[in-house]
Amino acid sequence: MSLIGRPIGGPFEISPEATQHISWLRRRLLSWFARNGRLFPWREPGRTPYEVVVAEVLLQRTTATGVVRTYATFVERFPSWLALAQAPVEELENALRVCGLWRRKAQAFQHLAQSIETNGGVPETRKDLERLPGIGPYTASAVLAIVYGRAEPLLDVNMARLLGRFLGPPECIEVKPKRALHAYALRLVRSKRALDVNWAALDFGALVCRARNPLCPECPLRARCQYARSRRLKPTSSEGVL
């Protein structure tokens, strides 16, 4: 997963109407997530910072389904940054082979582990996180959100697609879409349950608001979704309110 580039320029002001729609969206996503959210080992409570960062690096350019096949074995085989830093690259490559891009990820893991061992732990600021090898904006956001409990949006292609479709393009044509998306995502996760909101948006984008063949006719958001309206989908009598 990757962050949809950071916006350049001043803050984007969200309209009162969009703010209300985002609050409505947040509630519906959390309700949907309670029944349909995906279960992954790296989402389990009590995961250490090491286990969280390992999962996020594994998820770079690899599907969650692919990471599931190797995550538990990997963290058992390499239980700490020190173990990763001292492991031969060939051993890391063999452990990562089922994920694809194993050579690149093996080197990335070793360099990252060595840097964290040198620095004495996982940094707590975005600036310091993004200085680490292999840690980009999205992974930094994930660490801040999951490890340190910050209200950071995990703005990947799934969340961006969901927000873009649900809210439609910004009313002001001078506003670049990236600025609007970042503002919408920040507003979406402004919640005491910010992490659950993040995971709900990611899962909903992956399972319902898909890039190809989105499940619009059965989508619980279609009553207020701009994309659904553009496709002229009419709510049915069976539409449930989450």
pLDDT of residue 98: 77
Per the CB < 8 A criterion, the answer to whether 179 and 13 are in contact is: no
Confidence of residue 237 (pLDDT cuts 50, 70, 90): very low
pLDDT of residue 169: 80
pLDDT of residue 6: 58
pLDDT of residue 12: 76
Q: Which domains does the chain have, with CATH numbers?
A: 16-37+154-230 (1.10.1670.10), 41-146 (1.10.340.30)
Phi and psi angles of residue 78, each rounded to the nearest 5 degrees, phi first:
-125, 85
Confidence of residue 84 (pLDDT cuts 50, 70, 90): very high
pLDDT of residue 177: 75
Residue 154 has pLDDT above 70, yes or no: yes
Average of pLDDT values for 90-108?
A: 85
pLDDT digits (tens, 9 = 90+) for 1-14: 555 555 555 567 88
Per the CB < 8 A criterion, the answer to whether 150 and 186 are in contact is: no
Active site residue 56: yes
pLDDT digits (tens, 9 = 90+) for 177-214: 788 899 999 999 999 999 999 999 999 999 999 999 99
Per the CB < 8 A criterion, the answer to whether 139 and 57 are in contact is: yes
Confidence of residue 124 (pLDDT cuts 50, 70, 90): very high
Task: Convert 25-61 to b/e letters by CB count within 10 Å (16 or more is b).
Answer: bbebbbebbeeebeebebbeeebebbbbbbbbbbbbe
Of the candidates 152, 156, 196, 203, the residue annotated as catalytic is 156
Average of pLDDT values for 149-170?
A: 93
What is the rounded average pLDDT for all residues in the chain? 88
Q: Which two tokens stand for residue 227?
A: 């994309």
pLDDT of residue 103: 81
Of the candidates 56, 152, 196, 203, the residue annotated as catalytic is 56
pLDDT digits (tens, 9 = 90+) for 101-113: 678 889 899 999 9
Active site residue 196: no
Tally Cβ neighbours within 10 Å of residue 224: 15
Which residues have C-beta within 8 Å of that of residue 237, sequence separation ≥ 6? none
pLDDT of residue 242: 44
| Distance of alpha carbon 241 from alpha carbon 75, whole angstroms | 41
Strands (E), the chain: none
Active site residue 156: yes
Of the candidates 71, 138, 184, 227, the residue annotated as catalytic is 138
Per the CB < 8 A criterion, the answer to whether 96 and 106 are in contact is: yes
Average of pLDDT values for 84-112?
A: 88
pLDDT of residue 238: 46
Per the CB < 8 A criterion, the answer to whether 69 and 97 are in contact is: no
Residue 23 has pLDDT above 80, yes or no: yes
